[in-house]
Structure 1
């Protein structure tokens, strides 16, 4: 009896000294991760089985140096990064770097994602502790623990990317990274360079929703990988296959009297036997990752919302129908965020002749479908070039008038003529009078001060100065179309900075729409200024791709000297993006739209000033 007790005592003592088996990332998460209401719609213990496709993705980081995840929204892709982080902090402490698209996201990411994970996990909280204002080892940007630290940096900040060696680099939303981190070069290359000293243990994890196929970083990484797809067995024949929207999802729907799209049923058709299966039947099957290529160092995964437990196929089908109704801009978002696929631009070779052939004769100056009209002004040394454009549902647009005002821009007379033109009205059916709801005037020429003075006095009429910012080979910085709003220091005028490259993409895509409907562009006849010269200017630039630091980006190249009509199309689109009128509302309910009283008397929106101002 005594001998047996002695043996048991030694067995228990030896077990304490036995090395613990290293848990996989998914096992660690199932044992230690707790989701909170701060960061998840489903609070409680983490369960990898809730979304089985996550297991192989997370566990692959144990053996593979690089992992690329091209994914839609709502599949838990940021959670992959957090679980990898928690697993290494607890089991293999080392320096870890999270790279976000820019520094502005650091605080929200730290407070809303990383800190809740730490605070809700006993093992992590014990190692890192609660943040204190004077504790330099636990700040918003950096969390220290025995054996390592977690640092969060922005891809736009070269100092953060090149400061210290790290073993694990976790890059989130890489398709939104800048082309260059300051003047230092590609941010991904800078981050990876920090791992050189950890030659055999280094790990690189790239996660993103893709954007454009031609320039997508995550697509390029995925394409140069094992290119794996999450496949589910057909409920009827058992053949494994990825869930596809095109030629896969079959849905039934109707449009209600109020215009709402209602999807009543959505099934998936098997690519092999052709049988339909319900969402529950397909998602009940045991999935498997199937590789399409061999690769020695990088695994690549693609997953979309059709496989996600947090999405509904009927909602996916509805999102597609709504996007299709609203035009190419929304279709891009659907393809990127729901299908997790890069958008491929199908350039149909629209030229000046095909666009000129669209010219049509309107029954009135302003067609009946137009809800509001805008104006755009380009300043040249001897003239103003102006386009007035009408807008309807889905940003379908109608050219109303292309006009030039010649004169000396140093003199007040020509600015008075411009103001008179912008104050005039255009007639529609039933005696409606349309006045512009806003205008953008280019301030980048030789008359910047004059533009600021002119627009400042008319900001209440939503007449704004604008300045374009493209992608500079020096800074390699990309900016969104409606970039930022400020006030000029001396004049106090509202100035909008525009990402003109992004704006040109929007206009170019609209010109490629072939059928009337969302985003389609209509043009009137020559008597309204839409001459052959206009269409030559509208097609005076073409998209080209340049490579900076190993990354492609889209820019624009002039193929003709005069491109004012193309610029004005961008500025008119900017007015709509800035003011964001609800173009689905009927004309009578447009806040700035025309209203007609019996007998044709127009009641317009009350104005602070009446008539024309002669001041610049």
Structure 2
């Protein structure tokens, strides 16, 4: 007979007893990890078809899933499907835990069918199957219906199972015949870029919902599609609630791991009070889940309702674990950082803190800085401010598009973003290149484009795929006003040099070589990131217009500079796109090529004409681009020719 109906946490406390060999032997105490209680009760209520739990390691999420499974089998028996990422996980972790559950709970032990009916991957309890499957087997995922599905370590699973779709889709179809079907998905997260933003209603810092392209972690994508509940703590000093996360930790970063652990503490974001590990048990006991749309007062009362969603999602920081101290989490991270092993650093962030890992975090501008800079601008997108002397167009080349940036340049390398966009089309075909030619030859507010730089790193139509090299052909077609560039990942003595590529239309040796501008990638990308934070009232300011959107801002910080243990800098992707960063790096190189840093500032009383009679010639280099004069300047005398040396190295 089924036991009396209680919630999973109550059932676990009454029925589960850990053996002496367990880390915490004796009766199960869900209140040791109080953040699992609300998710367990939501699962049992079947109020949502999908429940997403993003927890750090050693926080008790696996035990919570077993609580739910045991309560269901004992009180309302129904078929259950437990899915792990691979066979090894099933045999070494999942199956032993399931058997421990069935053996330690007397009410389940009496209902377990042993002998031939019990296999490694199939247990029969109260007449219903409890099946174990791994995500790589489409047959196992589709074999039996289930009223409860438990998907563990979702981020470790394959995207496609034998060309039949993702594992989650296959699993959720198993519940189509049950009105009260629930699918629970848990995992520690992986890579991605996400910021904590202040919620206007509650004042809490919640993880923002960011574009899918910036999130490599499947569980985090599911989490941000749900209600986004955050586990919050009350400060032991001011009683205000806050969301614990890694950036609130303070520790001596250059100290050895054990010394760093001893010096670790958490800082309250409200009052600045020092929070130590001894406060954790009380903060967890008074902790509350709060989602966007809700508020929590100092008495722990949660008000309001979450945003409407088909799924409910919970996030808990690894700092909340009662089994691992703040200092122990930090020691693991410091040891990983000092080893120089990026995989270890990622594991420390994902498992230790339950947070996404953004490669190359460091001193990288955030996209919000770009948005704020745009909001405070004094000119609009498409306008050419008075200080602009030259227009430069830079173009990245991708398989299906040509991202481009148009920037105006003035005295002392001050620059203004004029416009940006993407020309859509297969870059192995002529149409998109004809559209680029139209863009290059068009004036902007009667100002012609003086120089165009095109990245030749991606070569559509290269000889091993098509008989025509579109980029090189296009540069020859447009003449000296268009230059091909190629980035160098190795350090260069000077940030820009020219070399010849002797390739003709058919990919064979050409009688006349094509000049290629080789760019020091590290130098020019670093220059762009430095200029983002340049003061707007100083020479060399890097301006943005009003109306710049996230499609521009996110790619501009899509890569981060990281110095490897051998001292060599490298650029690591933080997001899936960084095309506009590549374009802006070419812009900086184009300004250097035109020697804009040597143009004198306008004298007082003549601030709209930036010493045009003293404009220096572009730096000497093979095949300099022809200069198309501004229409407003056609009547002026040609300045005396002179050669200058550049100090435009950003140092």
The two structures have a TM-score, normalised by structure 2, of 0.50
Alignment-derived partner of residue 245 in structure 2? 244
SS at match of 2:246: coil
Residue 57 (structure 1) shift: 1.8
> Any residues of structure 2 matched to 1:553-592 within 5 Å, and which?
none
Task: Give structure 2 stretches of 5+ with no counterpart.
Answer: 193-214, 293-305, 365-395, 397-454, 458-485, 495-558, 578-651
Q: Aligned residue for 1:226? A: 227
2:15 to 19, 22, 32: 32
Q: Distance in 2 between matches of 1:172 and 1:179?
A: 15
* 2:267 alignment counterpart: 269
State the SS of the aligned residue for 1:49.
helix
Distance 1:357 1:245, change over 3 A: same
Counterpart check, 1:304 vs 2:317: yes
Secondary structure of the structure 1 residue equivalent to 2:92:
helix
Q: 1:164 aligns to what SS in structure 2?
A: coil
Which of 65, 68, 74 is the matching residue for 1:90? 74
State the Cα deviation string for residues 35-57 of structure 1 (Å, max 9, x = none).
2356x422221001111111112
What is residue 27 of structure 2 aligned with on the other side? 45
Q: Distance in 2 between matches of 1:224 and 1:514?
A: 32
- Within 5 Å, which residues of 2 pair with 1:459-470? none
The residue number in structure 2 matching 1:193 is 173
The answer on 1:59 being equivalent to 2:73 is: no
Which residue of structure 2 aligns with residue 549 of structure 1?
none
Distance 1:139 1:83, change over 3 A: same
Do the aligned partners of 1:261 and 1:322 also contact (CA within 8 Å) in 2?
Answer: no
**Mapping of 1:576-615 within 5 angstroms?**
none
Aligned CA distance change for structure 1 residues 230 and 185 (closer, same or farther; 3 Å): same
- How is 1:286-325 mapped onto 2 (pairs within 5 angstroms)? 286-292=286-292, 293-325=306-338
> What is the distance in 2 between the residues matched to 1:167 and 1:55?
21
Q: 1:207 aligns with which of 150, 175, 186?
A: 186
**Deviation of residue 265 (structure 1)?**
2.8
> Aligned-pair distance for 1:260?
6.2
**Per-residue Cα deviation, 1:211-232 (whole angstroms, up to 9, x for no partner):** 1232211101110111111111
Residue 204 of structure 1 aligns to a residue in which SS? strand
- For 1:329, the equivalent position in structure 2 comes to 343
C-alpha distance in 1, partners of 2:276/2:258? 24
Question: What residue number does 2:60 align with?
Answer: 76
Which residue in the other structure is 1:117 paired with?
A: 101
Task: Give the Cα separation in 2 of the matches to 1:45 and 1:519.
Answer: 52
Give yes or no for contact 1:229–1:302 (8 Å, CA) kept in 2: yes
Counterparts of 2:15 and 2:150, CA distance in 1: 20
Pair 96,53 (structure 1): closer, same or farther in 2 beyond 3 Å: same
Shift of residue 275, structure 1, vs aligned partner = 1.6
> CA, structure 1 residues 305+542, in 2 after alignment: closer, same or farther (shift >3 Å)?
closer
Q: Distance in 2 between the 1:93 and 1:70 partners?
A: 27
**Equivalent residue of 2:261, what SS?**
strand
| Deviation (angstroms), 1:514 | 3.6
1:182 lines up with 2:162 in the alignment:
yes
* Equivalence map 1:525-564=2 (5 Å): none
1:195–1:72 distance in 2 versus 1, CA, 3 Å: same
**C-alpha distance 223-354 of structure 1, shift in aligned 2 (>3 A):** same
Shift of 1:34: 1.6
Equivalents in 2 of 1:359, 1:139: separation in Å? Answer: 67
- Residues in 2 aligned to 1:252 and 1:273: alpha-carbon distance in whole angstroms: 21
User: How many Å apart are 1:544 and its aligned residue?
Assistant: 9.4
- Is the CA contact (8 Å cut-off) linking 2:358 and 2:574 kept in structure 1? no
Q: How far is the alpha carbon of 1:207 from its aligned partner? A: 0.5
Aligned mates of 1:102, 1:291 — CA distance in 2:
33
Is the 1:266–1:279 contact (alpha carbons within 8 Å) kept by the matching residues of 2? no
Q: Distance in 1 between matches of 2:88 and 2:279?
A: 43
Preserved contact between residue 561 and residue 569 of structure 2 (Cα < 8 Å):
no
TM-score (norm. length: structure 1)? 0.53
Distance in 2 (CA, whole Å) between partners of 1:260 and 1:240 is 30
Task: Note if contact 2:155-2:218 (Cα within 8 Å) is conserved in structure 1.
Answer: yes
Distance 1:29 1:522, change over 3 A: closer
Q: Distance in 2 between matches of 1:20 and 1:117?
A: 16
- Which one of the candidate residues 517, 521, 527 is aligned to 2:568? 521
Answer whether contact 2:95 2:121 (CA < 8 A) is retained: no
1 CA distance for matches of 2:311 and 2:566? 40
SS in 1 for 2:322: coil
- Name the SS of the counterpart of 2:332 in structure 1: helix
Tell me the equivalent position of 1:356: 490
- Aligned partners of 2:59, 2:573: CA distance in 1, in Å? 37
Residue 105 of structure 1 aligns to a residue whose secondary structure is helix
- Post-superposition offset of 1:143: 0.7
CA–CA separation in structure 2 for the residues paired with 1:174 and 1:20: 32
- Note the C-alpha offset of 1:23: 0.5
Question: Aligned in 2, Cα 1:519/1:66: closer, same or farther, shift over 3 Å?
Answer: farther
